[in-house]
Amino acid sequence: MLLKDSGEFPDVVVPASVANLGGGFDTLAVAVQLFLRVRIVDVREDGRTMLTVVRSTPAVRGRNAVERAFEALARRTGRKAPSVSVEVESDIPMAAGLGSSAAAAVAGLRVFEGVAEGPGVPEGVLLAVAASLEGHADNAAAALHGGLTSVVEREGRDPVALGWRWPEELRLVVATPAAGLATATARAALPEAVPRPDAVFNIQRVLSLVHALEARDYGRLREAVQDRLHQSARSALVPQLASVLALEDPEILGAFLSGAGPSVALIARRDFTRLEQLVKSVYDRAGCAVTVRTLGVHQGVDSVREKVAAAGPAPGRGAWGKTI
């Protein structure tokens, strides 16, 4: 039996994310304006608590992260839900260091939250489930909340996300090589331990970065996104990483590896088209196919909770939570 017209459910829209921002390994991430969308096409009141992706663009091998997240949150909360069929469409390139899997996981969590029995799920639980699927919480935090986030993971307790509003004038020029890079491969390249001076170096740079963004002290950004924990270890896996990081231009405020790569991001506030061409020329000279985008930061909105609450949820159903 059809529970209600699928058109009454709002689409779930989740942003991509750029993680680490240099020295903030597994800690910092910022949501960007590149999106994954999930549309509910069928909801059946059968109590089976199941989500099925009936169409995905682009196609995904194996089980979709949207499905896995829906089921994981059902297990965590013990709540019942109907059978849901969805269509997924994503503009976020996969295996690119732009949080595609985190966006899919967050979308699955939001769908479950919207159709399951009971009230909305606490944000800490959503982040914990997403982190359990991802192996780390940074991309998931940005996908859940928007803007710039940091995470505090706590043994035996749900992680916490802290947030700041990214300066509106700053955008990210992101170069994504055609060849993808699996996160597992990029993590395998990292050393098991790092020297104490390198750890201190990164702590200092992360604090400098947060200060520079908060105070609009952009002259500090290039130094503030430097890193000694992960970028050099991954350089052999990322085409032209060293060349892009070494670019000198007055409009480049900072440059760093996006997540695990192979995307590389620049911070800028003007002259984006010229910077795109400058970055593309680095890859062109090396014969490396690349897509270069200028992406604004997605700050996040409370898009549907109030609207659905005002309209009245279906009997026995909670209102939708925050959809980024």
Residue 190 pLDDT > 90, yes or no? no
> Of the given ranges (64-68, 153-157, 174-178), which has the lowest mean pLDDT?
153-157
User: One-letter amino acid identity for 218?
Assistant: Y
In a domain, 302, yes or no: no
The pLDDT of residue 300? 78
Band (72; pLDDT cuts 50, 70, 90): very high
Residue 267 pLDDT > 90, yes or no? yes
Residue 197 pLDDT > 70, yes or no? yes
Q: Which residues touch 250 (CB under 8 Å, ≥6 apart)?
A: none
In a domain, 322, yes or no: no
User: Of 165, 198, 220, which one is at a domain's C-terminal end?
Assistant: 165
Which CATH number goes with the domain that contains 122? 3.30.230.10
**Residues 252, 156 share a domain:** no
In a domain, 232, yes or no: yes
pTM of the full structure: 0.89
In a domain, 94, yes or no: yes
User: Of 140, 165, 190, which one is at a domain's C-terminal end?
Assistant: 165
Q: Which residues pair with 32 in a beta bridge?
A: 16, 297
In a domain, 192, yes or no: yes
β-bridge pairing 83-90 and 50-57: parallel
Residue 101 pLDDT > 70, yes or no? yes
**Residues 157, 57 share a domain:** yes
**Residues 198, 156 share a domain:** no
**Residues 134, 62 share a domain:** yes
The total of other beta-carbon atoms located within 10 Å of residue 158's CB is 16
* Four-CA torsion 263, 17, 63, 160, nearest 10 degrees: 130
The pLDDT of residue 222? 97
**Residues 280, 184 share a domain:** yes
User: Of 115, 146, 165, which one is at a domain's C-terminal end?
Assistant: 165
* More confident position, 60 or 222: 222
In a domain, 218, yes or no: yes
**Residues 234, 138 share a domain:** no
In a domain, 177, yes or no: yes
**Residues 194, 155 share a domain:** no
**Residues 138, 20 share a domain:** yes
User: Contact 159/127 with Cβ under 8 angstroms?
Assistant: yes
The total number of structural domains that make up the chain:
2
**Residues 194, 141 share a domain:** no
**Residues 145, 94 share a domain:** yes
The mean pLDDT value for 206-224 works out to 97
> Of the given ranges (139-148, 180-189, 262-271), which has the lowest mean pLDDT?
180-189
**Residues 131, 180 share a domain:** no
In a domain, 312, yes or no: no
**Residues 147, 90 share a domain:** yes
Which CATH number goes with the domain that contains 176? 3.30.70.890
The pLDDT of residue 7? 55
The pLDDT of residue 8? 64
What is the domain extent for residue 155?
6-165
Q: How far apart are CA 234 and CA 189, in angstroms?
A: 6
